[in-house]
Amino acid sequence: MRRLIFLSIFFCARLLSAQGQNPVPSSPTGSDPVSIAFRQMEIFERTVKDANEEQAHHTAEKRAAEEARLEFREKANKFVALWEDFVMHLNDKQTFDAKLALKLSKAFHELEMSDGWPIRAVASNSK
């Protein structure tokens, strides 16, 4: 960034000194060395800006994907824990716990509706 500022000041100083010593008629195409240098600098600045924006976009996409994976993993772990409780209750007491079954059903539905669910991912990719 410092180099960019230094180059800007340097080119502005060169432009002002060139105008003061030897007035050059402005060309309609802007082919004098100072104009060319400014255009090159503009192109460089745009390239750097585009690269920074692309990097930020890529980082945001990676972060969103990682958050989706973590959310799916948490929901899957919750479902597995409830399933283990349900099975343990069923095997130990030989009774069906309706409240636990409803929690288990809700946990599975949440897992199924999450972004990491394989069937939804395949269906959305085929569209």
Burial class (CB in 10 A: 0-12, 13-18, 19+), 18: middle
Structurally, how many domains does the chain consist of?
1
Counting Cα atoms < 13 Å in the Cβ hemisphere of 91 gives: 6
Share of the chain above pLDDT 70, in %: 71
Examine the pLDDT at 118 and tell me if it is beyond 50.
yes
What's this model's pTM, rounded to 2 decimal places?
A: 0.53
Of 116 and 87, the one with more pLDDT: 87
Q: Return the pLDDT at 27.
A: 46
Q: Return the pLDDT at 28.
A: 47
Span 50-74, pLDDT tens digits: 999 999 999 999 999 999 899 999 9
First-to-last CA distance in the chain? 44
The predicted model gives 19-25 an average pLDDT of 51
DSSP 20-76: HHS--PPPTT--SHHHHHHHHHHHHHHHHHHHHHHHHHHHHHHHHHHHHHHHHHHHH
Domain that holds residue 121: 2-21+30-126
Q: DSSP character for 116?
A: T
